[in-house]
Amino acid sequence: MLVVTRIRTYGGHMSHLTHRLVPGPAGRIHLVEQGTGPLVLLLHGFPESWYSWRHQLPVLAAAGYRAVAVDVRGYGRSSRPEAVAAYRMTELVEDNAAVVEALGERSAVVVGHDWGATIAAHSALLKPEVFHAVALLSVPYTPPGGPRPSEVFAGIGGEEEFYVSYFQEPGRAEREIEPDVRGWLAGFYAALSADTMPTSTADAHHMPADPHFVAPGGQLRDRFPAGRLPAWLTEDDLDVYAGEFERTGLTGALNRYRAMDQDWKDLAAYAGAPIRRPSLFLGGALDASTTWLSDAIDAFPTTLPGLHAAHLLDGCGHWIQQERPEEVGRHLTEWLGSVTSGR
Q: Which residues belong to the active site?
A: 114, 318
Measured CA to CA, the distance from residue 318 to residue 191 in angstroms comes to 9
d(CA 143, CA 122): 9
Measured in whole angstroms, the distance separating CA 150 from the mean position of its chain's CA atoms is 20
Strand partners, 20: 3, 31
Do the Cβ atoms of 56 and 137 come closer than 8 Å? no
Cβ atoms of residues 254 and 184 within 8 Å? no
Which DSSP string do the residues of 52-108 spell out, in sequence order?
A: GGTTHHHHHHHTT-EEEEE--TTSTTS---SSGGGGSHHHHHHHHHHHHHHTT-S-E
Triad 149, 155, 157: Cα angle to 5°: 120
> Residue 339: which of 111, 181, 165 has the closest Cα?
111
- The rounded Cα 143 to chain-centroid distance in angstroms is 17
134, 279 contact by CB (below 8 A): yes
DSSP string, 112-147: EETHHHHHHHHHHHH-TTTEEEEEEESS----S-SS
